[in-house]
Amino acid sequence: MGISGTPDNQVGSAETTKGLALTGLVIGLLTGGISYGIGEYWIDDHDERFLAFTTLLFIVTTAFSYLLLTEAGQIARAGLGAFFIGVIMTGPDYFIFSTLAVETDNYDPFPGMFWLFVGRGLAVFLLIVLLKARFERGSSLFAFPFYKDVFFHGLTLPLITGGAKLFAGLSLLLLFAWAYLLKQMDVDFFHRLFKEGWFLLPFLGAIGGLSIALMRSQQSVLNALRYVLLLFCRILMVITALFTITLLLVLATKGVGVVFDRPYPSIWMMVLAIAGMLIFNGVYQNGQGAAPPIWLRLPTLITLLGFPVYSGLAFYAFGLRIDDYGLTPPRLTGLVINGLVAAYSFVCLAGLVTELNWRGKKWMPLVGRLNILMACLWVIVLVGLASPIANPWAISAQSQYKLIAEQKISADDFDYGYLRFKLGRPGDRALEKLLKLDNHPEAAAIRDGVSRARSAESYYRYKTPIVPELQEAN
């Protein structure tokens, strides 16, 4: 099994991308211009800014997706696919922005930060990869793609995007260096020009679009980067297997306390599982080859055996924390992501089962198709997590309410301020429900806690109330 991953129909693709430079330049220029217009005439002068932000992200996402999807002779289909991706992202964008834009409420910003900086980008990336792979075979938009194409584009598109960002960053740096040099010569026109939004945003858009097109045409560079990444995964797989054996031996001799006594055990276990998942796929590659040499095959099997252990320990750590302190938006997000990671254990199990046919022509043939299903599941869950379907603030508020309603925590130890200042309207509704717990043995203490939360000016003031003696002295 060699280090590869390039579909047969990618040969000669450099010629098909040469004509994308002008397209990337124009689309990037228009996107930057529209972005400036939205920021200048809509966001600043409109009360409902969340609608403007949603529209802005829709335009940027659609343009970015189109530049990565389009090929010669596929302009209309690429446009339809890009529009499809933009529409899917619009719902979660609107929900997150409209929720956090309500200034009279107090919301934990974590769900918004996670969506904008992690979940959204990952969902867009997976959708582009799946559609790009589907377009390789010239079939309908919603048909099932081949894993060979999914793997190739899943490996290539991050390289294209990263290279394009590098090109755009260097261009911007060169531009400002040139402007600064001219300013030292008493020519400050360009220095002032480059600070103007009407020039800078279209310029950045044009450079970004052109950079994507140019990076796509660098097939020799992309092939070299792919080779290095896949080779690196093979080296890491051996190291990962040794680490897995060591960790399993430590757990067997010292128990799970060696993990749970450390800070953030669930996060560390998830990181190890995700790292193992990525390294495994780098070794597995496009699913077209036979099994690798025995020195690589055995470490891969060992790593797959350790995968359920990592995800199981992470689940256990989350369970302990949630049982004691209830759900919060960060814990809910972590629990859901860990669920996705744990679901990949079924892919690992399928790979291990197929190893019963040790001399099979293809290595772990079920893994490729299951990887595609997992990619679709990640998109569905990430989008759902940023929507009213799985409203993290509402679910957390209900969990916190049950924590005290079911007497899992005493009324004096309960954090009423978290409901008031971190969970917005769902938190306010939960506080109202707490006031109706007349049959609760600590009903009086609950009413006092709710009153303190509602009378506090901020979460900080709730956590650190002013001592009456000090207030009188002041």
Distance of CA 167 to the CA centre of its chain: 24
* pLDDT band for position 7 (cuts 50, 70, 90): very low
Q: Give Cβ neighbours of residue 220 (< 8 Å, ≥ 6 apart).
A: none
Q: Rounded CA gap, 283 and 354, in Å?
A: 16
Q: Give Cβ neighbours of residue 42 (< 8 Å, ≥ 6 apart).
A: 52, 55
Closest CA to 344 of 304, 298, 296: 304
Which range, 223-227, 319-323, 461-465, is most confident? Answer: 223-227
The pLDDT tens digits for 115-134 are 999 999 999 999 999 999 98
User: Does pLDDT of 473 surpass 70?
Assistant: no
pLDDT value of position 466: 65
Q: Are 291 and 1 in contact (CB under 8 A)?
A: yes
pLDDT value of position 11: 39
- Residue 423: strand pairing partners: 107
Instruction: For 24-89, give the secondary structure using H, E and C.
Output: HHHHHHHHHHHHHHHHHHHHCCCCCHHHHHHHHHHHHHHHHHHHHHCCCCCHHHHHHHHHHHHHHH
pLDDT value of position 2: 58
Neighbours of 140 (CB within 10 A): 8
The pLDDT tens digits for 414-460 are 999 999 999 999 999 999 999 999 899 999 999 999 999 999 999 98
The pair of three-digit structure tokens given for residue 90, joined into one six-digit string: 């619009």
pLDDT value of position 9: 45
Instruction: For 389-441, give the secondary structure using H, E and C.
Output: HHCHHHHHHHHHHHHHHCCCCCCCCCCHHHHHHHEHHHHHHHHHHHHCCCCCC
Q: Which residue has the tokens 């950079």?
A: 211
- The mean per-residue pLDDT over the stretch 154-179 comes to 89
The pLDDT tens digits for 46-92 are 667 889 999 999 999 999 999 999 987 678 889 999 999 999 999 99
